[in-house]
Amino acid sequence: MAKSYLLEILAVVAILAFCGIFLYTSSTMAGAEFSGSDNVGSNLIAELTGKPVDSFSPLIPQWEPPSGEIESCLFALQAAIGGIFVGGVFGYWLGQKKKDLSETNIQ
């Protein structure tokens, strides 16, 4: 029994540990802003080249989400698209399996 749920248990433990580590770092680390590593990387580029971050302009003009809210909305949309695929297919497989089982039972 315990062995058959080993992966589930491990996943829960890993996620809890991950949350624990986050709570610990966010309360103890001074200056932890939890900004994206993409931005931290861009700042390092600015540091290495000696040019301010603002001087890097897009080579190809691009649309930027006007606010953080709109950005998180679009990120949620992206995750939802993925979720629809995952949930839809698992449901489809589950239905297929059930049908196969009932057909073999009739025979």
Residues in contact with other proteins by the rule CB under 8 A: 3-4, 7-8, 10-11, 14-15, 18, 21-22, 25-26, 29, 31-42, 44-45, 48-49, 56-60, 62-65, 71, 74-76, 78-79, 81-86, 88-90, 92-94, 96-97
Cβ-based neighbours of 46, under 8 Å, separated by 6 or more:
52, 53, 56
Query: 67 or 105: whose CB is closer to other proteins?
Result: 67
Phi/psi at 26 (5° precision): -70, -25
CB of 107 to other proteins, least distance (A): 19
C-alpha–C-alpha distance, residues 17 and 23, integer Å: 10
Query: 4 or 105: whose CB is closer to other proteins?
Result: 4
Phi/psi at 35 (5° precision): -85, 165
C-alpha–C-alpha distance, residues 101 and 106, integer Å: 9
CB of 59 to other proteins, least distance (A): 4
